[in-house]
Amino acid sequence: MAHTISDACVACGACADTCPVGAISSGDIYVVDPDVCIDCGACEDGCPTGAITA
């Protein structure tokens, strides 16, 4: 299952920088593409606000 990003996202881009497959795109908040996500957890570790969950 792909990770999800909650409304706690501050759109800092830290998660996108850590994603090895480029599954995260920007917008008002960042979004994980479930078809590309490999569920590695790198984004979760890189998020300073804890907005990303599995």
Number of domains in the chain: 1
- CATH label of the domain that carries residue 33: 3.30.70.20
- Does the structure show a pLDDT above 80 at 1? no
pTM metric for this prediction: 0.85
> DSSP assignment of the chain, as one string?
---EE-TT-----HHHHH-TT--EE-SSS-EE-TTT-----HHHHH-TT--EE-
pLDDT of residue 28: 83
* Span 9-29, pLDDT tens digits: 999 999 999 999 999 999 888
Domain span holding position 28 = 4-53
pLDDT of residue 34: 94
